[in-house]
């Protein structure tokens, strides 16, 4: 049987950045070690003189029994793992993360920086602590700095960087938030890279979402342009699950778990009141994953509204009539709505100037309040008594500490980031694909656009099967 064709991750239609040119297998053979294979840039591609140091895992076998667990650069994880017997199954593949036998940085020359950007997400502190610990405990790196308050911390005088130590980081994995602070906006590429150069940082770990990654890729490019030998690594952080390619990031499971409290409360209120309606608004401005998975987990939601679906409010097949039917038959109903759902109703399409936050994200009206008002007035007009309770957990689902599975994910992502940077890889993002930890070219993360719920997926179909909600469209 012939082997399936091997398709490097970003060889499809993406226009490749010259830095991330994929070497053909032949070039790799001629050049010895595979370099930049599968699109993950390596410092060796840009700098002639680059170190090659044996990993401490090779030499300090008494403390690290990892001798046989080095990951070769041609070990990959397949994207498409569902296949049919006998059919060729070419799949994209990503480089597997993990410790490499040889390092591009001597640990004593490493000055690392960690920055956290964007909104909060359960587990940020764990990632910060584990990057520090992996650098120090596995590789013996002495200097790991924390950049305060997101990107602006690189260049704002009153936000000096913090030299991280055990005391500062003690127990932070049990706390929500970010010990370093995080903000939106404040991305000044020139000043950020000036700061990286003047402080002598040669490894920069950037924890953040889609916006953060757009910035991180620019930092990577600018470092190369200025001939700065810096590994720039992204660690994906999103409770919304809106980052492409990866299974999901840390914090997502915690957010879904925390959302259960609100849904449970909505259910209790709805089932205890006369014609009770429990309405829960959950985060997710562009992608409805939190609402979708929280609905599946709860098992007692009647309607799940996410940004990806287009629903009618009025009319014989619209949402309001459906709620009335539910009340008639069940005497209560529970509705989950993602903050970005029903945008066509809450935002005036003609409006020319939309309000945006410091990062340029569009500010949205509270769709939960809007829907509560529409439901109440619709039933009131018909003289039907309803008791609607609106629950809006907003920041509660993302400010809590991470649950155990998320904390484990944080640890593994942080270790993957450190192993990759120490080996000299740069311009990459760590993540899980099919539950395996991989290095993904950052260019690919940002060029894929947002991850959104696929309405033809089996997962969304499971939601429809659980809620039994109709299409909510008149035609």
Ligand X SMILES: O=P(O)(O)OC[C@H]1O[C@](O)(CO)[C@@H](O)[C@@H]1O
**Given the complex with Mg ion, which of 371 and 430 has the nearer CB atom?**
430
Binding to ligand X, residues 7-66 (CB under 6 A): none
Residue 209 as a binder of Mg ion (CB under 5 A): the answer is: yes
- When binding is defined by CB under 6 A, the residue of 145, 281, 398, 443 that contacts ligand X is 398
Determine the Cα angle at 336 with ends 333 and 340, to 5°: 145
**Given the complex with ligand ATP, which of 104 and 338 has the nearer CB atom?**
338
In angstroms, give the least distance from the CB of 401 to ligand X: 16
Binding to ligand X, residues 195-224 (CB under 6 A): none
In angstroms, give the least distance from the CB of 119 to Mg ion: 7
Write down the catalytic residue from 240, 242, 300, 302.
Answer: 240
Contact of residue 186 among ligand ATP, ligand X, Mg ion, none (CB under 5-8 Å per partner type): ligand ATP
- The CA-atom distances, in angstroms, between 370 and each of 338, 373, 376, 381, 405 are 13, 5, 10, 17, 35
In angstroms, give the least distance from the CB of 377 to Mg ion: 34
Contact of residue 212 among ligand ATP, ligand X, Mg ion, none (CB under 5-8 Å per partner type): ligand ATP
**Given the complex with Mg ion, which of 210 and 221 has the nearer CB atom?**
210
Candidate segments 131-139, 199-207, 283-291, 428-436, binder of ligand X by CB under 6 A = 283-291
Candidate segments 56-64, 146-154, 179-187, 205-213, binder of Mg ion by CB under 5 A = 205-213
Candidate segments 149-157, 170-178, 192-200, 281-289, binder of ligand X by CB under 6 A = 281-289
Contact of residue 398 among Mg ion, ligand X, ligand ATP, none (CB under 5-8 Å per partner type): ligand X
Residue 210 as a binder of Mg ion (CB under 5 A): the answer is: yes
**Given the complex with ligand ATP, which of 208 and 424 has the nearer CB atom?**
208
Residue 305 as a binder of ligand X (CB under 6 A): the answer is: no
Residue 176 as a binder of Mg ion (CB under 5 A): the answer is: no
Which chain residues interact with ligand ATP by CB under 6 A?
117-119, 150-151, 184-187, 208-212, 214-215, 218, 238, 240, 359, 361
In angstroms, give the least distance from the CB of 5 to ligand X: 38
Residue 310 as a binder of ligand X (CB under 6 A): the answer is: no
Calpha distance 226→373 (Å, rounded) = 56
Contact of residue 234 among ligand X, ligand ATP, Mg ion, none (CB under 5-8 Å per partner type): none
Say whether 13 is catalytic.
no
**Given the complex with Mg ion, which of 211 and 276 has the nearer CB atom?**
211
Residue owning tokens 């992204």: 234
Strand partners, 73: none
**Given the complex with ligand ATP, which of 212 and 231 has the nearer CB atom?**
212
Catalytic residues: 240
* Interaction site with Mg ion (CB under 5 A): 209-211
* Interaction site with ligand X (CB under 6 A): 118-119, 184, 239-240, 283-285, 339, 357, 398
């Amino acid at each position: 049987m012939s082997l399936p064709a091997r398709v490097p991750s970003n060889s499809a239609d993406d226009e490749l950045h010259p830095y991330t040119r994929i070497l053909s297998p032949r070039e790799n053979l001629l050049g010895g070690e595979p370099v930049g294979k599968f699109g993950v840039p390596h410092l060796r591609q840009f700098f002639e003189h680059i170190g090659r140091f044996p990993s401490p895992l090779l030499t300090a076998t008494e403390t690290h029994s990892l001798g046989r667990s080095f990951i070769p650069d041609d070990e990959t994880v397949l994207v498409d793992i569902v296949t049919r017997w006998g059919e060729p199954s070419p799949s994209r593949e990503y480089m597997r993360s993990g410790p490499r036998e040889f390092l591009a940085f001597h640990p004593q020359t490493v000055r690392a920086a960690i920055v956290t950007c964007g909104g909060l997400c359960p587990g940020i502190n764990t990632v910060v602590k584990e990057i520090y610990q992996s650098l120090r405990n596995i590789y013996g790196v002495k200097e790991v700095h924390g950049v305060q308050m997101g990107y602006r911390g690189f260049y704002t005088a009153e936000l000096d960087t913090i030299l991280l130590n055990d005391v500062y980081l003690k127990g932070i994995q049990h706390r929500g938030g970010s010990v370093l602070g995080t903000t939106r906006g404040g991305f000044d590429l020139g000043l950020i890279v000036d700061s990286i150069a003047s402080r002598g940082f040669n490894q920069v770990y950037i924890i953040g979402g889609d916006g953060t990654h757009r910035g991180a890729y620019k930092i990577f490019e600018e470092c190369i342009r200025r001939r700065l030998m810096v590994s720039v690594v992204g660690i994906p952080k999103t409770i919304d699950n809106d980052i492409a390619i990866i299974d999901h990031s840390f914090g997502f499971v915690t957010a879904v778990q925390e959302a259960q409290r609100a849904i449970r409360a909505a259910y209790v209120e709805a089932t205890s009141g006369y014609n009770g309606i429990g309405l829960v608004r959950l985060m997710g401005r562009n992608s409805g994953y939190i609402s979708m998975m929280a609905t599946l987990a709860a098992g007692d939601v009647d309607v799940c509204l996410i940004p990806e679906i287009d629903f009618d409010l009025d009319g014989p097949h619209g949402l309001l009539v459906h709620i009335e039917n539910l009340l008639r038959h069940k005497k209560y109903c529970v509705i989950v709505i993602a903050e970005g759902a029903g945008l066509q109703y809450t935002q005036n399409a003609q409006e020319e100037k939309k309000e945006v936050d410091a990062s340029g994200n569009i500010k949205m009206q509270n769709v939960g309040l809007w829907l509560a008002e529409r439901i109440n007035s619709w039933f009131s007009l018909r003289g039907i008594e309803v008791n609607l309770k609106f629950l809006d957990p907003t920041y509660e689902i993302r400010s809590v500490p991470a649950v155990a599975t998320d904390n484990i994910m944080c640890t593994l992502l942080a270790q993957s980031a450190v192993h990759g940077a120490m080996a000299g890889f740069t311009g990459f993002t760590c993540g899980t694909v099919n539950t395996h930890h991989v290095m993904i070219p950052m260019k690919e993360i940002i060029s894929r656009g947002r991850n959104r719920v696929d309405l033809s997926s089996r997962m969304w179909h499971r939601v429809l099967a659980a809620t039994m909600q109709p299409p909510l469209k008149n035609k």
